[in-house]
């Protein structure tokens, strides 16, 4: 009878001290991993707090220079912009207005911090008076299509306006366009519009896998974009589906996406991990408003340590395969990481 020797390796040896743990750490966070979301509104000298998201504000354009320099100074390489127009209408016209709120914001940020990458979230929910991500079928409204249900999101007219707005934002200086509405064909339409306008060099970060999630609640307050009727389940993904996520990603890759995104992040780490296994494209993951707000609420009640749990959550997202993380914790996390 052969005796199996006791293994000499004991994992706990590599956990003994903080120095050893750092030496063998498999996943390392850095401020360079983060993209910071900014909400921009009309007006002057305003920093309007978002009640459900501590530390997050709606900023007027004149506030962006100081903000941009501070973000860049922390080593955060990019921001993503969400615009809150002064006037909303059925077609979200402020989104493709060269003097709209986001083009103004892009120019202000690039003037203040030229090396800070500016990503333009490309959707219509913040700009339409109905709060949906595209053109809605309604009698008397532009693009009305008899025979389709009232309230149905019209896919192809929305593509036309997405392309138009993307070219406007690129002209203003956006480094990356990030379509987020889950409109069929959005990547191809935007790629064609950018190329035709002379912006073939501008990449597309596609919200390729965006679920109809309950974790977006605080964002609705921040962006002032709740749907005025129904919900977004007719175009965002069913949270129960994983194989469909891979189909969506493959479609966007075929249409010319340069970066793919999974949103939300933490409830869909399995999807993020599986997507990492099937594509070499850079992957982004969005730690959404609900994830951020829950951690803050629990910490405010003394139930957990905010810093520890926020960094743990961000590490989990990177460990699952994200190359970049959109997170409202970006500024705080950059400071925490610098403190060690």
| Angle value at C-alpha 36, between 34 and 40, nearest 5 degrees | 170
Report the sign of the C-alpha dihedral through residues 39, 336, 116, 281, in that order: negative
Task: Give the whole-angstrom CA distance, residue 181 versus residue 132.
Answer: 9
Q: Which residue, among 113, 106, 105, 53, has the nearest Cα to 77 in the 3D structure?
A: 113
Task: Give the whole-angstrom CA distance, residue 218 versus residue 58.
Answer: 13
Task: Give the whole-angstrom CA distance, residue 224 versus residue 233.
Answer: 19
Catalytic annotation present for 210:
yes
Candidates 88, 110, 247, 263; catalytic one: 263
Catalytic annotation present for 263:
yes
25 in Cβ contact with 60 (< 8 Å): no
| Token duo for residue 160 | 């036309």
Task: Give the whole-angstrom CA distance, residue 55 versus residue 246.
Answer: 35
Q: Which residue, among 185, 326, 186, has the nearest Cα to 262 in the 3D structure?
A: 326
Task: Give the whole-angstrom CA distance, residue 63 versus residue 104.
Answer: 12
Q: Which residue, among 240, 236, 290, has the nearest Cα to 261 in the 3D structure?
A: 236
Q: What are the helix and strand counts (H, E) for the chain?
A: 11, 12
Candidates 88, 110, 210, 318; catalytic one: 210
Whether the bond between 293 and the residue before it is cis, its omega within 30 degrees of 0, is no
| Catalytic positions, written as ranges | 210, 263
């Amino acid at each position: 009878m052969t005796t199996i020797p006791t293994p000499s390796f004991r994992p706990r040896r590599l956990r003994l001290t903080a120095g050893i743990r750092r030496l063998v750490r498999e996943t390392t966070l850095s401020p360079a991993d983060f993209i910071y979301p900014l909400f921009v509104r009309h007006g002057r000298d305003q920093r309007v707090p978002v009640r459900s998201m501590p530390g997050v504000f709606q900023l007027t354009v004149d506030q962006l220079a100081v903000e941009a320099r501070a973000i860049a100074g922390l080593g955060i390489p990019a921001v993503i912009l969400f615009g809150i127009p002064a006037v909303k209408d059925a077609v979200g016209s402020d989104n493709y207005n060269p003097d709209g709120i986001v083009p103004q914001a892009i120019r202000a940020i690039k003037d203040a911090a030229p090396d800070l990458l500016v990503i333009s979230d490309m959707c219509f929910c913040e700009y339409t008076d109905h709060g949906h991500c595209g053109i809605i079928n309604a009698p008397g409204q532009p693009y009305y299509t008899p025979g389709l249900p009232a309230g149905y999101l019209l896919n192809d007219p929305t593509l036309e306006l997405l392309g138009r707005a993307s070219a406007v934002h690129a002209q203003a200086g956006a480094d990356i366009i990030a379509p987020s509405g889950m409109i069929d064909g959005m990547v191809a339409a935007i790629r064609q519009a950018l190329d035709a306008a002379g912006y073939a060099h501008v990449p597309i970060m596609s919200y390729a896998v965006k679920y109809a999630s309950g974790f977006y609640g605080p964002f609705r307050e921040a962006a002032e974009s709740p749907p005025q009727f129904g919900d977004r389940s007719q175009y965002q993904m069913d949270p129960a589906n994983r194989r469909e996520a891979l189909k969506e990603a493959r479609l966007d890759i075929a249409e010319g996406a340069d970066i793919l995104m999974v949103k939300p992040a933490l409830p869909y780490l399995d999807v993020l991990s599986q997507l990492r296994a099937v594509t070499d494209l850079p992957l982004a993951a969005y730690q959404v408003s609900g994830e951020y707000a829950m951690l803050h609420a629990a910490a405010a009640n003394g139930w957990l340590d905010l810093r520890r749990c926020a960094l743990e959550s961000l590490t989990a997202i990177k460990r699952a395969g994200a190359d970049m993380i959109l997170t409202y914790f970006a500024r705080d996390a950059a400071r925490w990481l610098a403190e060690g």
